[in-house]
Structure 1
Amino acid sequence: MKRIVLTGASGHIGYHVAKQLLERGNSVILLIRNENDHIARLKLRGATTFIVDLHDEKSYQAIIKDADVLFHLASENTVDTSDEKRIVKNTFELTKKMIDCATANKVKTIIYTSSVVVLGRSPRSDRLIQENDKASCLESPYVKGKFLAEEYCNKVIREKPVDIRRLYPSWVMGDDDLKLTPPHKIVSKYLAKGNLFYFSGGISIAAVEEVARAHINAWLLGKPNERYIVAGHNISFKKFYSTLAKYSRNKAPFLYIPKWIIYACSVVSKILLGKKNPIDPRYVRSVIGNYSWYNSEKAIKELNYTIPPLDSILQAAMNGVRKKLWGIHPFDKKNNIDIQRIEYDQNDVLLITGFPGWLSNRMLDILLNGNKFGNYAVNRKIRLLVEPKFKGLLSTPENIEIFYSDITDKDTLKLALKNVKAVYHLAGVIYPKKINAYHKINYIGTKTLVDQCIECGVRRIIFMGTDSICGYGKLKKIFDETTPPNPYKNYGRSKYLAEKYILDKTAEGLIEGTSLRGFWFFGPFMPARNMNFLKMFYWKRQIVFGNGKNLRSISHIDNITQAFIKAEKNNKSIGKWYWIGNKHYDYTVDQIYQNIANGLGVDYKPFYIPNWACELFGLLDSILGLFGKVNATIHAAGKFHKNIAGDIKDAQNDFGYNPDVGFEEIKLELKDIVSKNYA
């Protein structure tokens, strides 16, 4: 069997190359820095992994020795201009070391992923760029790094008996872009905010599956030391945005902006923001008004390269970005014989609402495969209630049944509840665009679900409550189960009404309900908003709303999942609500931030926002509410300086709640979470 080694499998193209190689029955060795979801999925398909430092040849030279082929795709793909030294190191210097090590260790063929940026752009729409063209403007550190790597390849080919086959992808788009490459970041921004403007110039859109296939065929069918452009549809920026508009709720662009205006704005921004400038004038000068249009004829003829329809490429890209934005992950049931599963009756069915979501994603993962200690996996039929907008985007094992329904749709709920033994009710909104969604989804949705449970004979309901039901500590800093409700604004009121309805119907003997109130969430499957909070710790100073001395409890979602499982099985919890946090329930905010900083390996240097300013944020939040609006940052800032902490002893005493994930475990997983999503 051929010896195949690959770098960059955690990235977009690299993942698809590795996946296709494995699908063809090849044995594939992956050189990785760390493991992310892509690597985990490739390992399930049979890939062998080695954790190495690609800048240190000694860490991998024995692994690649005498390999039949090295696919080198690892690179830092970014339009960032703030740290040229780092980016050039992770493009040019990285490639130089890989090529030197591969040639010294007699690797037969190197397939190197360059980029069309090294070939340049055309000022005319009637002239396509060819393989022998050369960029005249190195507008960013990434382009500079890839250009230097290109020049080095030319030098090695001239001086040594090597076989380096180069591919030049354009804008590569499609599904499974875990970290969002620059083209997909543009799609992400468009889906979130739309874009009414367009400008002159154009780009070339390629499909990731076909670009990956071209890499493999460059090895199998290509010629030694040959170069292949693997571009796609050469279209204008206006057509690009107009096509995105066809498959979203956003409008197509109709306002034209001349290049000189964009350039002038970029110059002013550069002066004001320096390295933090979002768009560099050199980038504007090189990209806007020019045509990144390329000729892929050689790859089509020699590598059987194909270009799918534009609409199908962009639809796949948009769906992939939506998965990222909505926190949708592929789920697999691992065949691990060491996992001790909790057994349920073969006719027992569990319905989970609120999927996909941060908590529901991790809960399903634990129910399928156990937590980090191998606990709480189940042998149980699981049914998911999923919003219709997620149709076609989910990937779950065959034994997971999906019902697409709005939480307020009585007819579909009846179908979803058929033969269900228990409901884990996680569905709810925290930061909706419109404030009336709180009442509609959190309260009316819960009421509708409970009413249908009663009608269908489903008795057991475990509800995900919130600390906002009690607001914040006033007379007592630490909540307990005697603390009276004091709902914090519209969100707290909606969750309180939902919880009250469940407990009232339990008191009437119609259902058997329990409410578990969580605090500040931590854990895997963290959504983008919380990821951005972690990224803040890499700033020079970390923003703290308040003086950092107020008390906050945290809830790791693994611990919450444990609480759901244990509470369901214990009749003592019926008709009650509980605080579900970590064992150490009275951290100060400073202590929490310090633990996070320690976990991420950075210094904690707080920048405190005074309490009076936080009160102003709270006032502004209330004013926005009068107009039916919610701003997540303003809402959170308005109460961040308050005491929000709770004692968990009742849950410990009543149903054996034992939160085994604390900050020591959280610190270990934090850096891993960041690196998997952004490294």
Structure 2
Amino acid sequence: MRAFVTGGTGFLGANLIEQLIGDGWQVTAMHRPDSSTRRLRMLGATPVQASLDSLESLQNALPAELDAVFHLAGNTSMWRGGDAQQWQDNVVGSANLAQAVRQHFARQSKPGRMIVTSSISAYGHQQGVISEASPQLATNPRFHYHYSKLHAELAVRDEIARGLDAVLLNPCAIVGKYDVSSWAQTFFLLAENRLPGVPPGASSFCHAGAVARAHIEAFHRGRRGENYILAGTDASFLEFFRTIAELVGVPAPRRTTPALFIHGIAAVSDAVSRISGREPAVTPQKASMLTSRALADSTRAERELGYRNAMPLADMLRESRDWLVAEGLLTLPASG
């Protein structure tokens, strides 16, 4: 089996490539000109340079015969100063890749399938538990990350209507090894006593390994054109941060920071960024995400893909911690 992977230099991409290689797949992994290919090669993938901005670049990068294309690349910025680039990366990039893949599959001797990593954010902010039957409410460009993920899905659906076989996955908050820039940042903040506060929101946390496996199962078992939500362990951010504090051996936070205060910091930071041109630590988009609840239901993925996210939150976070320590990126106190 042959796979082409975008976003392989990211942490979910590394988990997916590791599992594909373990299953005996041949993997070609796309990377940008300025990205390191060290981990791709260590995992056993063949790196190829290409750009989502260029349809021709993508057409040239795709190997002659393919079974699957896994599109994991995405821009997760939540700063309005990066909105234009985010639209280019998430929406235009997804449209270009989906077109290139549809045309490529039409020319080759056997059918292929595209698996698209979207996000629970494509459903927008909702009051209840999100399922595939929920309306996709990410229609406000002020929440641009959510907005771009919805429109990336719509771009892929345009190509599905033209004949592309594609399945869309919507993971919630992903935790696990190979993470250095997502939830792993919380380890650094707590270990270095730089945590400014604990937001009052909550989320569904899913294990990176289980999400990667769901991508492979979506290739084998998913239904064309369907969304599959990948949720996991529901927890408040206070519980999440307390668990990390225990894992790094520092005092656990005892209470949350009021939402009004977090939104106030975000508003001031946003005003300053208009002058400085630099992304602030807390943006209005981040504040909205961290002070809301994003809980979801994985029943469809469990039934149709065999998705299982049975790992307890503490074990997911321990895996992330242990990998950071092994890589020399996180130093624990002597008593940890």
1:182 aligned counterpart, secondary structure: coil
Query: Is residue 188–residue 321 contact of structure 1 (8 Å, CA) maintained in 2?
Result: no
1:200 aligned counterpart, secondary structure: coil
Structure 1: give runs of 5+ residues left out of the alignment: 329-355, 357-386, 392-679
Change (3 A) 1:97 1:269: same
Over residues 503-532 of structure 1, what are the superposed CA-to-partner deviations in whole Å (9 max), with x where a residue is unaligned?
xxxxxxxxxxxxxxxxxxxxxxxxxxxxxx
- Answering whether residue 251 of structure 2 is matched by residue 251 of structure 1, we say yes
Aligned pair partner of 2:324 in 321, 326, 330: 321
Question: Mapping of 1:488-637 within 5 angstroms?
Answer: none
Query: How far 1:22 sits from its partner (Å)?
Result: 0.8
Change (3 A) 1:31 1:248: closer
- CA distance in structure 2 between the aligned counterparts of 1:80 and 1:56, rounded to whole angstroms: 25
Over residues 93-127 of structure 1, what are the superposed CA-to-partner deviations in whole Å (9 max), with x where a residue is unaligned?
1111000111112262110111111112333xxx3
Over residues 584-615 of structure 1, what are the superposed CA-to-partner deviations in whole Å (9 max), with x where a residue is unaligned?
xxxxxxxxxxxxxxxxxxxxxxxxxxxxxxxx
Change (3 A) 1:198 1:155: same
- Per the alignment, residue 129 of structure 1 pairs with 130
- CA distance in structure 1 between the aligned counterparts of 2:192 and 2:143, rounded to whole angstroms: 26
Query: Is residue 207–residue 313 contact of structure 1 (8 Å, CA) maintained in 2?
Result: yes
- Per the alignment, residue 41 of structure 2 pairs with 40
Change (3 A) 1:122 1:187: farther
Give the number of equivalent residue pairs: 322
Query: Is residue 8–residue 75 contact of structure 1 (8 Å, CA) maintained in 2?
Result: yes
Query: Is residue 29–residue 46 contact of structure 2 (8 Å, CA) maintained in 1?
Result: yes
- Per the alignment, residue 304 of structure 1 pairs with 306
- Per the alignment, residue 97 of structure 2 pairs with 98
- Per the alignment, residue 52 of structure 1 pairs with 50
- Answering whether residue 150 of structure 2 is matched by residue 147 of structure 1, we say yes
Percent identity, please.
23
1:256 aligned counterpart, secondary structure: coil
Change (3 A) 1:106 1:317: same
Change (3 A) 1:87 1:390: farther
- Per the alignment, residue 30 of structure 2 pairs with 31
Over residues 487-506 of structure 1, what are the superposed CA-to-partner deviations in whole Å (9 max), with x where a residue is unaligned?
xxxxxxxxxxxxxxxxxxxx
Query: Is residue 195–residue 252 contact of structure 1 (8 Å, CA) maintained in 2?
Result: no
- Per the alignment, residue 292 of structure 1 pairs with 294
Change (3 A) 1:14 1:252: same
Structure 2: give runs of 5+ residues left out of the alignment: 107-111
1:83 aligned counterpart, secondary structure: helix
Query: How far 1:388 sits from its partner (Å)?
Result: 10
The letter for the 2-side match of 1:176 is Y
Query: How far 1:252 sits from its partner (Å)?
Result: 1.8
- Per the alignment, residue 88 of structure 2 pairs with 89
- CA distance in structure 2 between the aligned counterparts of 1:194 and 1:240, rounded to whole angstroms: 16
- Per the alignment, residue 188 of structure 1 pairs with 188
- Per the alignment, residue 164 of structure 1 pairs with 166
Change (3 A) 1:315 1:327: closer
- CA distance in structure 2 between the aligned counterparts of 1:36 and 1:389, rounded to whole angstroms: 34
Change (3 A) 1:198 1:52: closer
- CA distance in structure 2 between the aligned counterparts of 1:197 and 1:74, rounded to whole angstroms: 30
Query: Is residue 41–residue 47 contact of structure 2 (8 Å, CA) maintained in 1?
Result: no
- CA distance in structure 1 between the aligned counterparts of 2:58 and 2:208, rounded to whole angstroms: 28
Query: How far 1:80 sits from its partner (Å)?
Result: 3.6
Query: How far 1:290 sits from its partner (Å)?
Result: 1.8
Query: How far 1:161 sits from its partner (Å)?
Result: 2.1
Query: How far 1:327 sits from its partner (Å)?
Result: 4.2
Change (3 A) 1:101 1:196: closer
- CA distance in structure 2 between the aligned counterparts of 1:132 and 1:5, rounded to whole angstroms: 30
Over residues 182-204 of structure 1, what are the superposed CA-to-partner deviations in whole Å (9 max), with x where a residue is unaligned?
32223322222264843322012
Over residues 290-349 of structure 1, what are the superposed CA-to-partner deviations in whole Å (9 max), with x where a residue is unaligned?
21111111111211111111110011122233445x348xxxxxxxxxxxxxxxxxxxxx
Query: Is residue 195–residue 251 contact of structure 1 (8 Å, CA) maintained in 2?
Result: no
2:192 aligned counterpart, secondary structure: helix
Over residues 348-395 of structure 1, what are the superposed CA-to-partner deviations in whole Å (9 max), with x where a residue is unaligned?
xxxxxxxx9xxxxxxxxxxxxxxxxxxxxxxxxxxxxxx99699xxxx
1:193 aligned counterpart, secondary structure: coil
Report the aligned-residue RMSD. 2.6
Change (3 A) 1:388 1:242: closer
- Answering whether residue 78 of structure 2 is matched by residue 74 of structure 1, we say no
The letter for the 2-side match of 1:303 is L
Query: Is residue 238–residue 256 contact of structure 2 (8 Å, CA) maintained in 1?
Result: no
Query: How far 1:30 sits from its partner (Å)?
Result: 1.8
The letter for the 1-side match of 2:164 is V
Query: Is residue 242–residue 253 contact of structure 1 (8 Å, CA) maintained in 2?
Result: yes
The letter for the 1-side match of 2:40 is I
Change (3 A) 1:321 1:298: same
Over residues 117-141 of structure 1, what are the superposed CA-to-partner deviations in whole Å (9 max), with x where a residue is unaligned?
1112333xxx311123313445544
Aligned pair partner of 1:61 in 49, 59, 62: 59
Aligned pair partner of 2:121 in 117, 125, 144: 117
Higher alpha-carbon Rg: 1
Change (3 A) 1:86 1:289: closer
Query: How far 1:18 sits from its partner (Å)?
Result: 1.2
Query: How far 1:156 sits from its partner (Å)?
Result: 2.9
Question: Mapping of 1:209-358 within 5 angstroms?
Answer: 209-274=209-274, 275-276=277-278, 277-284=280-287, 286-307=288-309, 308-323=311-326, 326-327=328-329
Query: Is residue 31–residue 37 contact of structure 2 (8 Å, CA) maintained in 1?
Result: no
Query: How far 1:19 sits from its partner (Å)?
Result: 1.2
Query: Is residue 58–residue 97 contact of structure 2 (8 Å, CA) maintained in 1?
Result: no
The letter for the 2-side match of 1:97 is N
Query: Is residue 129–residue 296 contact of structure 2 (8 Å, CA) maintained in 1?
Result: yes
Query: Is residue 199–residue 256 contact of structure 1 (8 Å, CA) maintained in 2?
Result: yes
- CA distance in structure 1 between the aligned counterparts of 2:223 and 2:147, rounded to whole angstroms: 27
Query: Is residue 102–residue 159 contact of structure 2 (8 Å, CA) maintained in 1?
Result: no
1:225 aligned counterpart, secondary structure: coil
Change (3 A) 1:191 1:49: same
Query: Is residue 28–residue 47 contact of structure 2 (8 Å, CA) maintained in 1?
Result: yes
The letter for the 1-side match of 2:11 is H
Query: How far 1:166 sits from its partner (Å)?
Result: 0.6
TM-score, scaled to structure 1: 0.45
**Higher RCO (CA 8 Å, separation ≥ 6 residues):** 2
Query: How far 1:64 sits from its partner (Å)?
Result: 4.2
Query: How far 1:165 sits from its partner (Å)?
Result: 0.2
Query: Is residue 6–residue 31 contact of structure 1 (8 Å, CA) maintained in 2?
Result: yes
The letter for the 2-side match of 1:238 is L
Query: How far 1:16 sits from its partner (Å)?
Result: 1.2
